[in-house]
C-alpha cells in the first residue's frame, strides 16, 4: 500500500480502538476472566464489523476517494487488507466467545456465580435482549461462512470465477453480522460517540451490501458497446479487441482501465485501456493476454459484432506528475497503458509539452508484429524505446535502467507488470535515494 493508504489503514484501527478504550476504562479493573471476556468481545466485535463496513463501501468503486487513494487498484488493495484485518479480529472475537466455555467444560476454571438480573424497563433494550439468542446463532454461522468466503478470495490458486460467485454471497453474510452487531453491541454505548460512529458505518455498509446484492455496483458508469475488430498476436499470446462505444462514455485518459462484460454469467473483468480517446471515433481498445481460464478462451468466445458492456473509466495511472523526465517500464502485458499514452501523445499534445521519456519493455515472448507497432508508436510520440527480450538480453533490473538513463534522479518512474518485479524495482530505487512514495508509480491491478 502507499504511504497514504498505510496511514489510513493503521489510523482507522488506532482511532477506533482509542475511542472504544476511552469509553471502557473499566477493562483495567476487571474482576475475572469472564468480565474481561465481555470487554474483549465488544472491542473485537466493534473493530471487525467496522472494518467490514468500510470494505463494503469501498467495494462500490466510489469516485470520491479514488484520486486521494491513488486509483481504484489502491482502493481494492485497502479493501482487501481491511477484509484480512476483519477476518483476523473475527477469529479473535470467536475465540474469546468459545475458549472460556471450553475451559469451564474441561474443569480448568469455574464459571462465576451470577446474581439476580435487574428488571429491564426500557422497551428497546428488552426487545434487543429477546433477540440475543437468534443474533448469537446467526452471527456464528455468518462468521463460519465469511471465513470460507474470504479464504476463497485470498487464495489465488482458486479460479477467478469461483471467487466471483462466492464473493457475491459476502454482502448477505455481512447483513447477518450487522444484525448480530446491533443486537449484541453494549446498549449503553449506542448513546456515545462510538455508537454514532458505528451506526453510520453500519448504515453505509448495509446500503453498499444491498447495492451489491442487486448487482448495481458501477451501474451509472456502464455503456453499451459492440466489438468492432479483433486481432491476435500469437507470439505473445495476446488478443487486441476494439469496441465501438455507445452514448454515455465520458472519455478516458491513457493508463486507465475499465470493466468489460461479454457474458453475464462470467461477469465483468477489468482490462487496461490500450487506446487514446477520440470522441469523433468513439472506440476503445483492450489488449488481453492468455493468462487464466477466462482470458485464454477469449479469442474463441468473442466475435466481431458481439454486444458487450463497458464500465469505467477507473484508475489514476495517468502520467500527470508534471515532471520533465519520466521512465516507463512495461513488463509483459504491462506494456498496455504505455501504448495508450504513446498514442495519446502522438495525436493530442504539442511536442513542447511532452516530458523526456525512456520506455523499457521487458518480455519473455516475442511477436514481431506487436513489437513493430510498439516501435512505430514510440517514434510518433518521440519516446526512446528499449526492448529487452529475456532470452536475448537478460533480465531488466534497476542497475541497467540507471546506466541507460543517467539522470534518473530527476525522473519519475512508472511501472506496470508483475507485482513482484515492481516491488523489487521499488526497493532497489529506494535504496539509491529515490523518494518512491512520490516518484514511483505502480499499477497494482489486482482485483482480489
Residues 409 and 114: their CA atoms lie apart, in Å, by: 69
Cβ-based burial of 268 (10 A; exposed 0-12, middle 13-18, buried ≥19)? buried
Q: What pLDDT, on the 0 to 100 scale, is given for residue 336?
A: 92
- Which pLDDT score is estimated for 445? 65
pLDDT at 448: 59
| DSSP assignment string, 346-415 | HHHS-GGGPPEEEEEEEESS--HHHHHHHHHHHHHTT-EEEEEEHHHH----HHHHHHH-TTGGG-EEEE
Q: CA–CA separation, 74 vs 1, rounded Å?
A: 7
Spatial contact of 306 and 227, defined as CB atoms under 8 Å apart: yes
CB 323 within 8 A of CB 355: yes
Q: What would the pLDDT profile of 356-372 be if each residue is shown by its tens digit?
A: 999 999 998 888 888 99
User: Residue 301 has what pLDDT?
Assistant: 87
Q: What is the pLDDT of residue 352?
A: 62
159: pLDDT strictly greater than 80:
no
Average of per-residue pLDDT values in the chain = 90
pLDDT greater at residue 30 or residue 418: 418
Q: Residue 117: is its pLDDT beyond 80?
A: no
Cell of 32: 475475572
Beta-ladder partners of 225: 245, 308
The CATH class, in words, for 3-213 is mainly alpha
More confident of the two residues 3 and 324: 324
> pLDDT tens, 8-29?
999 999 999 999 999 999 998 8
Query: Which pLDDT score, from 0 to 100, does residue 32 have?
Result: 81
206 pLDDT higher than 90: yes
Q: Of 302, 265, 320, 258, nearest to 283 (Cα)?
A: 258
In terms of phi and psi (left: phi > 0; alpha: psi -120 to 50; beta: otherwise), the region of 230 is beta
pLDDT at 349: 58
C-alpha to C-alpha distance for 139 and 271, rounded to whole angstroms:
37
Among 20-29, 70-79, 100-109, 290-299, the least confident range: 290-299
Joined together, the cell numbers standing for residue 39 give 470487554
Q: Where are the domains of the chain?
A: 3-213, 219-314, 325-443
Residues in contact with 298: Cβ distance below 8 Å, sequence separation at least 6, in sequence order: 239, 241, 262, 288, 290
- Digit-coded pLDDT (tens) for 295-350: 778 888 899 999 999 999 998 899 988 898 999 999 988 999 999 999 988 887 56
User: Would you identify the CATH topology of the domain 325-443?
Assistant: Rossmann fold (3.40.50)
Cα 131 to Cα 109, 142, 269, distances in angstroms: 29, 16, 41
List pLDDT tens digits, range 240-279: 999 999 999 999 999 899 999 988 777 888 899 999 999 9
Name the residue among 318, 324, 308 with its Cα closest to residue 255: 318
Residue 446: the pLDDT is 65
Q: What is the pLDDT of residue 150?
A: 82
Residue 120 has pLDDT above 90, yes or no: no
Residue-wise pLDDT for 219-248, tens only, equals: 999 999 999 999 998 888 889 999 999 999
Query: What is the model's pLDDT at position 90?
Result: 94
Percent of the residues in the chain that have a pLDDT greater than 90, as a whole number: 60
* Residue 167: pLDDT over 90: no
Query: How many degrees, rounded to 5, is the angle at CA 395 between CA 391 and CA 397?
Result: 165
With cell 535502467, the residue in question is 401
pLDDT for the residue 263 = 82
State how far the Cα of 316 lies from the Cα of 68, in Å rounded to an integer. 10
* C-alpha cell read off for 65: 476517494
Angle CA 23–186–100, to nearest 5: 100
- Dihedral (Cα; 264, 279, 68, 413), 10-degree rounding: 100
Domains 219-314 and 325-443 share a fold: no
Given the candidates 3.40.50.2300, 2.40.30.10, 2.40.50.140, 3.30.479.10, the CATH classification of the domain at 219-314 is 2.40.30.10
Would you state the pLDDT for residue 1? 64
Scanning the structure block, which residue is given the C-alpha cell 476483519?
Answer: 86
Torsion sign over Cα 217, 222, 228, 234? negative
The pLDDT-based confidence of 115 (bands split at 50, 70, 90) is low
Q: How confident is the model at residue 350, as a pLDDT?
A: 63
314 secondary structure, DSSP code = E
- In DSSP notation, 7-47 reads HHHHHHHHHHHHHHHHT-GGGGG--SHHHHHHHHHHHHHHH
Q: What's residue 57's pLDDT? A: 96
Amino acid at each position: 500500500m502507499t504511504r497514504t493508504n498505510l496511514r489510513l489503514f493503521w489510523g482507522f484501527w488506532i482511532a477506533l480502538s482509542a475511542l472504544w478504550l476511552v469509553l471502557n476504562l473499566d477493562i483495567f479493573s476487571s474482576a475475572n476472566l469472564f468480565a474481561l471476556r465481555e470487554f474483549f468481545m465488544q472491542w473485537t466485535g466493534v473493530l471487525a464489523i467496522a472494518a467490514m463496513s468500510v470494505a463494503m463501501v469501498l467495494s462500490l468503486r466510489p469516485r470520491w476517494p479514488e484520486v486521494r487513494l491513488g486509483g481504484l487498484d489502491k482502493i481494492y488493495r485497502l479493501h482487501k487488507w481491511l477484509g484480512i484485518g476483519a477476518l483476523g479480529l473475527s477469529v479473535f472475537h470467536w475465540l474469546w466467545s468459545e475458549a472460556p466455555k471450553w475451559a469451564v467444560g474441561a474443569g480448568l476454571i469455574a464459571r462465576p456465580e451470577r446474581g439476580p438480573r435487574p428488571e429491564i424497563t426500557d422497551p428497546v433494550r428488552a426487545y434487543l435482549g429477546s433477540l440475543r439468542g437468534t443474533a448469537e446463532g446467526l452471527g456464528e454461522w455468518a462468521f463460519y461462512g465469511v471465513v470460507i468466503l474470504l479464504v476463497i478470495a485470498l487464495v489465488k490458486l482458486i479460479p477467478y470465477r469461483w471467487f466471483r460467485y462466492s464473493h457475491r454471497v459476502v454482502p448477505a453474510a455481512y447483513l447477518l453480522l450487522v444484525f448480530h452487531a446491533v443486537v449484541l453491541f453494549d446498549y449503553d454505548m449506542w448513546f456515545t460517540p462510538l455508537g454514532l460512529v458505528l451506526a453510520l458505518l453500519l448504515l453505509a455498509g448495509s446500503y453498499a451490501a444491498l447495492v451489491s446484492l442487486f448487482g448495481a455496483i458501477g451501474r451509472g458508469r456502464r455503456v453499451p458497446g459492440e466489438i468492432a475488430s479483433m486481432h491476435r498476436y500469437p507470439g505473445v499470446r495476446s488478443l487486441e479487441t476494439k469496441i465501438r462505444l455507445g452514448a454515455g462514455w465520458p472519455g478516458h485518459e491513457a493508463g486507465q482501465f475499465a470493466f468489460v462484460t461479454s457474458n453475464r454469467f462470467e461477469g465483468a473483468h477489468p482490462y487496461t485501456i490500450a487506446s487514446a480517446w477520440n470522441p469523433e471515433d468513439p472506440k476503445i481498445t483492450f489488449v488481453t493476454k492468455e493468462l487464466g481460464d477466462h482470458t485464454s478462451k477469449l479469442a474463441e468466445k468473442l466475435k466481431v459484432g458481439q454486444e458487450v458492456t463497458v464500465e469505467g473509466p477507473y484508475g489514476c495511472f495517468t502520467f500527470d506528475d508534471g515532471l520533465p523526465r519520466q521512465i516507463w517500464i512495461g513488463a509483459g502485458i504491462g506494456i498496455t497503458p504505455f501504448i495508450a499514452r504513446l498514442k495519446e501523445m502522438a495525436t493530442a499534445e504539442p511536442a513542447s509539452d511532452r516530458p523526456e521519456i525512456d520506455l523499457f519493455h521487458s518480455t519473455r515472448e516475442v511477436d514481431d508484429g506487436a513489437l513493430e507497432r510498439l516501435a512505430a508508436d514510440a517514434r510518433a510520440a518521440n519516446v526512446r524505446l528499449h526492448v529487452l527480450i529475456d532470452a536475448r538480453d537478460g533480465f531488466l533490473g534497476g542497475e541497467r535502467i540507471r546506466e541507460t538513463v543517467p539522470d534518473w534522479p530527476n525522473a519519475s518512474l512508472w511501472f506496470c507488470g508483475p507485482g513482484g518485479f515492481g516491488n523489487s524495482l521499488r526497493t532497489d530505487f529506494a535504496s539509491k535515494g529515490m523518494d518512491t512514495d512520490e516518484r514511483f508509480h505502480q499499477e497494482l491491478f489486482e482485483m482480489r
